[in-house]
Amino acid sequence: MKVRFILIISLLISGALSIFASSYPDGLEKVAEDKDFLESAISWWGGLIPDYAMPGVASGKLATALAGIIGALIVFGLLYLFGFIVNRQRS
């Protein structure tokens, strides 16, 4: 398996499979709901792409797919840049 394949697989998962993800609350959210402390949560930072939906895209599925692809690319890009930091010149 070529390592580079993994990026393509990641983009397929984040850009296509993500549409079929369950919309049920996750474990922590569900516990917070059941035990009545979800309202303690505050959101003072909305993020650039809130709720994994690309803003300004009418179709919900497309918005999720785009958000997923962009997110996977950002993580990939930042970690790739990180390689240059590790490689940087010592003074």
Residues that bind other proteins (CB under 8 A): 1, 3-7, 9-11, 13-14, 17-18, 20-28, 30-32, 34-37, 40-52, 67-68, 70-80, 82-83, 86-91
Nearest-angstrom CA–CA distance, 5 and 3: 5
Secondary structure class of 28 (helix, strand, coil): helix
Write down the least CB distance from residue 79 to other proteins, Å. Answer: 4
Nearest-angstrom CA–CA distance, 30 and 1: 38
Q: Which residue lies nearer to other proteins by CB, 59 or 80?
A: 80
Q: Which residue lies nearer to other proteins by CB, 57 or 73?
A: 73
Q: Which residue lies nearer to other proteins by CB, 7 or 59?
A: 7
Write down the least CB distance from residue 48 to other proteins, Å. Answer: 5
Other CB atoms within a 10 A radius of the CB of residue 84 amount to 8
Nearest-angstrom CA–CA distance, 15 and 70: 9
Block residue for tokens 């590790």: 86
Write down the least CB distance from residue 58 to other proteins, Å. Answer: 20
